[in-house]
Amino acid sequence: MSHTFWLSTRTIRGKDPITELIYSDRYVCSPLVVNLLVNVIHELGRHSDGDFAIRIQGRQYQKDDNRSPWQCWHDWRTSQERDEAIRQALEYCGFEGEVLSLPSLPHYRQLQLQLRSGRQLTVQLDQGLSYWEAERSEKSYLLRFDFAARQLGEEIMERIQCKVVATGDECTQIFIYVT
């Protein structure tokens, strides 16, 4: 564990820079989760020495629901809409990335950081970033989201200004390992 922590600290401080980031999660479906994901990428980028490749892998889906989504925790109707929104959010923050919708993904949710040294740091999130949700005591207008906005990247990164909390009283697990 101490070796993993040491490597994590070196990576965050830029001493072993990130060369590639891969996030794989079949439940990235809402603007709130995309906001959290892009914020994590943004913070890693601030502390990394140099640019890195980004790949986001989500599950391919299409909802059979006629209701229009309007809250930041509602899901996009299709994975194609979600993928375009992720691309725009990355671009809004100055990143380029490959966003893929795959017909099937492993159940785990993980963030892989490939490092310049050739090592790989993997953070496995038991429930992914979907574990956190918008605090429901927030005023409802703070949680509204315009799914038809022309500038989705800006809408995701600037409009969603709410506190996030753990889902209910549940706990989650996070595993970190180095290869």
List, in sequence order, every residue forming a beta bridge with 112; answer none if it has no partner.
22, 122
Query: So what's the pLDDT on residue 115?
Result: 93
Whole-model pTM?
A: 0.88
Q: Provide the 3-class DSSP secondary structure of residue 46.
A: helix
Range of the domain at 161: 2-178
Query: So what's the pLDDT on residue 139?
Result: 67
Task: Give the pLDDT confidence of 57-81 residue by residue, as tens digits.
Answer: 999 988 888 888 998 889 999 999 9
Query: So what's the pLDDT on residue 131?
Result: 80
| Token pair for 129 | 């970033």
Query: So what's the pLDDT on residue 4?
Result: 46
What is the average pLDDT score of the chain? 86
Task: Give the pLDDT confidence of 110-142 residue by residue, as tens digits.
Answer: 999 999 999 999 998 888 888 878 777 766 666
Query: So what's the pLDDT on residue 65?
Result: 80
**Does residue 1 carry a pLDDT above 80?**
no
For residue 80, give the CATH number of its domain.
3.30.870
Q: Indicate if the alpha-carbon torsion angle 145, 149, 153, 157 is positive or negative.
A: negative
Total structural domains in the chain? 1
Q: First and final CA of the chain: distance in angstroms? A: 13
Rounded CA gap, 19 and 68, in Å?
Answer: 39
Query: So what's the pLDDT on residue 5?
Result: 46
Report the candidate in 89, 113, 112, 108 with the shortest Cα–Cα distance to residue 25: 108
**Span 5-30, average pLDDT:** 78
Between 48 and 7, the higher pLDDT residue: 48
Query: So what's the pLDDT on residue 2?
Result: 39
**Does residue 40 carry a pLDDT above 80?**
yes
pLDDT tier for residue 164 given thresholds of 50, 70 and 90: confident
